[in-house]
Amino acid sequence: MKLSSKGRYAVMAMVDIAKYAEDKPCKLSNIALRQNISLHYLEQIFLKLKKSNLVRSHRGPGGGYKLLGSKKDIKVSDVISAVDESIKTTGCNNSATSFCTGKNVRCLTHDLWEDLEILIEGYLESVSLHDLVVGNKNSFLEERNYEQS
């Protein structure tokens, strides 16, 4: 399973705004430079973020984008779903006619991958932009006694 560059770049850009644009709009060209992301690609991503009401655009001199809510309230999962990304770990769409095997039955490891998907979604829902800006250790991992090495 791999998250596409669109999802990763969207999260990077939103964390950049959360860090550098507290009281004034942030220009996409500045984000592009700081995060080494194509400006054209960022423009496409921000159309989706704006449509999902995660950012607001400001026109004119000093214009750019601001978060449309508190960085504590915007979760990584919100950003990823705003750019039409999904965390998919199973090889099927859970439809009776197209399970992993293509034979109307689940593969032997289906439940493993489905449980992993639930864990990943839970983790992404537990991390806010604020957490990433300040480097908070995530309580989701602490609750499960996972150690980061």
Q: Is residue 149 part of a domain?
A: no
Q: Is residue 56 part of a domain?
A: yes
The number of domains in the chain is 1
Q: Which two tokens stand for residue 121?
A: 């979604």
Q: Is residue 148 part of a domain?
A: no
* Mean pLDDT value of segment 66-71: 93
Q: Kindly list the distances between the CA atom of residue 63 and the CA atoms of 22, 26, 118, in Å, as whole numbers in the listed order.
A: 14, 7, 39
CA distance 37 to 81: 20
On whether the pTM is more than 0.85, the answer is no
Pick 89 or 77 by higher pLDDT: 77
Range of the domain at 37: 5-143
Q: Give the angle subtended at the CA of 122 by the CAs of 121 and 128, to the nearest 5°.
A: 95
* Mean pLDDT value of segment 11-19: 96
Burial of 108 from C-beta contacts in 10 A (0-12 / 13-18 / 19+) = exposed
Q: Where are the beta strands (DSSP E) in the chain?
A: 55-58, 64-67
State the CATH number of the domain containing residue 27: 1.10.10.10
**Quick one: pLDDT at residue 142?**
64
Q: Is residue 82 part of a domain?
A: yes
